[in-house]
Amino acid sequence: MKQIALAAALAALMIGHVSAQETKFDQCVLAGRLILEAGKPSQTNQLIRIRGGKIFDIAAPSANGSCEKIQNLSNFTVLPGLIDAHVHLLSELGPDSRLKEVTVSSEDLVVEGAANARKTLLAGFTSVVDLGGEPGSIFALRDGITAGKLPGPRILAAGAAITPHGGHADIHGFRPDVMAGLDRSNTCSGADDCRRAVREMVRAGADVIKITATGGVLSNTKAGLGQQFTDPELKAIVETAHALGRKAAAHAHGKAGIDASLRAGIDSIEHGTYGDNESFKLYKANNAALSPTTLAGATVVAQADTGWLTPAQRAKALEAGPLMLDMLRRARLAGVRTIFGTDTGVSKHGENAKEFALWIEAGFTPSEAIRAATLGVAEHYGLADEIGSIAPGKAADLIAVAGDPLGDVTRLQSVAFVMKAGMVHKAP
Give dist(CA 370, CA 393) in Å, integer: 21
In whole angstroms, what is the distance from residue 264 CA to residue 267 CA? 9
Neighbours of 91 (CB within 10 A): 20
Tens-place pLDDT, residues 207-237: 999 999 998 777 667 777 889 999 999 999 9
Beta strands 54-59 and 289-291 are unpaired
Helices marked H in 79-134:
97-103, 106-122
Q: How far apart are the first and last CA of the chain?
A: 60
Residues 6+ apart with CB under 8 A from 49: 25, 28, 55, 56, 57, 58, 59, 63, 66, 67
pTM: 0.91
Burial class (CB within 10 angstroms; exposed 0-12, middle 13-18, buried 19+) of 206:
buried
What confidence tens digit (pLDDT) does each residue in 17-40 have?
444 345 689 899 999 999 999 999
Q: Could you report the per-residue pLDDT of 240-298, keeping only the tens digit for each?
A: 999 999 999 999 999 999 999 999 999 999 999 999 999 999 999 999 999 999 999 89
Q: Which residues contact 193 (CB under 8 A, 6 or more apart)?
A: none
The residues, ordered by sequence, that sit 6+ positions from 71 with a Cβ below 8 Å of its Cβ are 27, 28, 29, 30, 417, 419, 424, 427
Which tens digit of pLDDT belongs to each residue from 51-102?
Answer: 999 999 999 998 888 899 999 999 999 999 999 999 999 999 888 776 777 7
